[in-house]
């Protein structure tokens, strides 16, 4: 459908994270799920090499592990998505719905070939 390479630049402000289910680990380290809204720069390169930059506010969720001295040991992003208020969010949602409907309506292998619409 789309032929793009995507580079993502993300500067995370750990002080603005909302931590969920934080738990202490061995040797004073701790881990937590998190939610965060962050402005990111997306660099899209199409199949002919044209580059387009987009700056977007994205909702990010994941897991982070901190060492006893507060340094990040591991950061795993589990979800990155546009917020519901993003102007393109509705368009992407409609596209996914159309693709779903096409996938369902395009599967005629289980239909009776003698059946006609009334």
Q: Read off the pLDDT of residues 40-95 as tens digits, 9 standing for 90 and up.
A: 887 888 888 888 888 888 889 999 999 999 999 999 999 988 888 888 777 777 87
Question: Chain-wide mean pLDDT for the chain?
Answer: 80
Q: What is the number of other CB atoms lying within 10 angstroms of the CB of residue 34?
A: 21
pTM: 0.61
pLDDT at 113 over 90: no
CB 35 within 8 A of CB 62: no
| Mean pLDDT in residue range 98-108 | 73
Residue 101 DSSP code? H
65 neighbors 22 (Cβ within 8 angstroms) = no
Largest Cα–Cα separation, the chain: 72
């Amino acid at each position: 459908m789309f032929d793009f390479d995507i580079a993502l630049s993300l500067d995370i402000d750990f002080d603005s994270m909302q931590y969920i289910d934080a738990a202490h680990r061995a040797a004073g380290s701790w881990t937590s799920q998190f939610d965060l809204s962050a402005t990111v720069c997306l660099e899209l390169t199409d199949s002919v090499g044209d580059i387009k930059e987009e700056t977007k506010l994205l909702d990010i969720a994941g897991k982070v592990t901190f060492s006893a001295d507060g340094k990040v040991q591991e950061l795993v992003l589990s979800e990155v998505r546009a917020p519901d208020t993003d102007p393109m969010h509705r368009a992407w949602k409609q596209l996914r719905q159309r693709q779903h409907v096409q996938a369902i309506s395009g599967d005629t292998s289980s239909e009776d070939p003698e059946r006609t619409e009334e």
